[in-house]
A and B are shown apart, each in its own frame.
Chain A
Amino acid sequence: MREVDIIIIGGGPAGLSAAISCKREGIDNLLLIEREDRLGGILNQCIHSGFGLEIFKEDLTGPEYAKRYITEVERLHIPFMLKGNVLDISQDKEVVVVSPKGLFKLRAKAIILSMGCRERARGAIGIPGTRPAGIYTAGQAQNLMNIRNYMVGKRVVILGSGDIGLIMARRLTLEGARVLAVVEILPYCSGLPRNRVQCLEDFKIPLLLNHTIVDIKGDKRLKSVTISKVGKRGGIVPRQKREIPCDTLLLSCGLIPENELSRKAGVILDPETSGPIVNEELETNIPGIYACGNVLQVHDLVDWVTLEGEKVGKSAASYVKGGKRNYQWIDARAGSGIRYIIPHRISTERDVEVTLRVSRPGKDKDILVKDRNRLIKKVFFGKVNPSQMIKLRLNKKELRGTKALWVSLR
């Protein structure tokens, strides 16, 4: 069986930057495996701009951002395999791949999971009515329109105000479709403010907050959806129902880490993020298996995905080279008002950057970092929003002697 020092699964921005980082750390025997016929991941279909503002201080489109890293992978002669679908990973790090050339087994010293995320359809499953043609997830529609040159419809309703839905509202409008409404059950928009302004307000597309879809009609093709206002306690307000004739419904109900492989390998997942539980090296419960990018936590900006990949590359390279391992991990926990915190375990021996998301939007809030009753750090935020990833740097001096880290919102 072929032996590889580090196998990286998934050639999106996370995998690309992880591979580059491994190589720069001196690992030459590595392999990047991607199941599509090109590198770049989901960025290939994200043809809008807004990528790279943090890292390059430039406003790039998805494919342009990806190209910078693909060029670097090629320049460094990093081995990669296209059309390679990883089917299985075992606890002892045997990787099964199927490609047009056949079925392979490889053994790795370390594995980096960077398979990205998939789209939730959960928000739609409970809707009564028929299941005609014309219903897509927002990402499927993005792929059809931007890669395959297939126009999904003419009169469109979008369920959910996630960023991909907002981006698609604009894309469809520019291509001549009418987007009749973006329907959001929550009292606030889940996408970034920039997208709300430039994708909806620019084109006067109505955003209906506190609304949901209660019925779908149509035999072969979608004919209409019925929307309703949602009351304070989550119930439907019957007198505020309205039927909207349309031929297409897009679902933009959030993303969820792609974790089938992680589960097969015995990686323990955090029920809140649906991604692996990791320590400060971004290592899972299985020594030598690491995770980065959207497979770990759904990111708001691709720049953070890239930085996470870089960090993972360093960790995995250090593992292969026999670097320090005997840390005393302490738990980092999400307290009230905080949805999750990553990493889940920290060493307190080094400076560490933690990422977190709040549970609800709020104004004039403090994020408190505590060791039981000792306040380690307090950071003020004029505004907090669940759509935004918050990063905090904690230095080892502040952390010294900490038994358990609690982060909460006040």
Chain B
Amino acid sequence: MIRDLTCIVCPKACKLKVEYSEKGIERIQGVLCKKGQDYVREEIYNPTRVLTSSVRVMDGDLKLVSVKTNRPIPKDLLMKVMDVLYKTKVKAPIKIGDILIKNILGSGIDIVATKNIKGNG
């Protein structure tokens, strides 16, 4: 299989053509440093992203608290995690780093707050 990738490890943003199979990467066209090689392997076999979004707040000085996954999650889980976040409501006060959802969808990854929210009581 062949895939065109843009390496995003640094601002040089090298354009690459990657030939690969289930067994491994066969050939990469384009300049590539050590970090770039690791990025390509991850992107092809196990693409992950940090998801950032927000969750509704009850009784807070803001209506929403911003959140993130505490580690990168597999890319194909992004939308499923969003569905869970959409249905979630949390109560103020909230502090940065508070775990709002533990082990989301059994992934071993937590949803943590990235903003302080004061109670409005």
Contacts and interface: CB of A to CB of B under 8 A. Distances in A.
Interface of A: 44, 47-49, 59, 61, 63-64, 67, 146-149, 174-176, 192-194, 196-198, 201-202, 382-383, 385, 388
17 contacts: A47-B66, A49-B50, A63-B66, A63-B114, A64-B96, A64-B114, A64-B115, A67-B116, A147-B63, A149-B64, A174-B53, A176-B82, A176-B86, A194-B8, A196-B6, A202-B49, A382-B12
Interface string B48-61: 01111110100000
Query: Sorted from nearest, which 6 A-B pairs have the closest CB atoms?
Result: A193-B13, A47-B66, A63-B115, A194-B8, A149-B63, A61-B114
Given A63-B115, A383-B13, A147 B8 contact: no
Nearest to A382: B12
A89 B64 CA distance: 36
A59 B53 contact: no
Nearest to B12: A383
B75 interface: yes
Contacts of A193: 6, 8, 11, 13
B62 interface: yes
B2 interface: no
Q: Which residue of B63, B66, B78, B96 has the most chain A CB atoms within 10 A of its CB atom? A: B66
Nearest to A68: B96
Contacts of B52: 47-49, 61
Nearest to B116: A67
B64 A146 contact: yes
**Interface size class, chain B:** 20 to 34
Nearest to B31: A382
A192 B75 contact: no
A47 B114 contact: yes
B82 A175 contact: yes
Contacts of B56: 149
Nearest to B7: A193
Contacts of A176: 82, 86
Given A193-B6, A382-B12, A148 B63 contact: yes
B117 to A, nearest CB: 10
Nearest to B15: A193
A375 to B, nearest CB: 25
B98 to A, nearest CB: 12
A174 B53 CA distance: 8
Given A64-B115, A174-B51, 18 more contacts: A47-B53, A47-B66, A49-B52, A59-B50, A63-B115, A64-B96, A67-B96, A67-B115, A67-B116, A146-B64, A147-B63, A148-B64, A149-B54, A149-B63, A174-B79, A176-B82, A193-B13, A194-B13
A202 B75 contact: yes
B114 to A, nearest CB: 4
Contacts of A197: 6, 8
A35 to B, nearest CB: 17
A175 B78 CA distance: 11
B54 A146 contact: yes
Nearest to A48: B52
Interface in B30-71: 49-54, 56, 62-64, 66, 68
B61 to A, nearest CB: 9
B68 A49 contact: yes
A121 to B, nearest CB: 26
A112 to B, nearest CB: 26
Given A49-B68, A388-B11, A147 B62 contact: yes
A202 to B, nearest CB: 7
Contacts of A59: 50
Contacts of B6: 193, 196-197, 201
Nearest to A67: B96
A193 B56 CA distance: 31
Contacts of B86: 176
A48 B54 CA distance: 10
Contacts of A388: 11
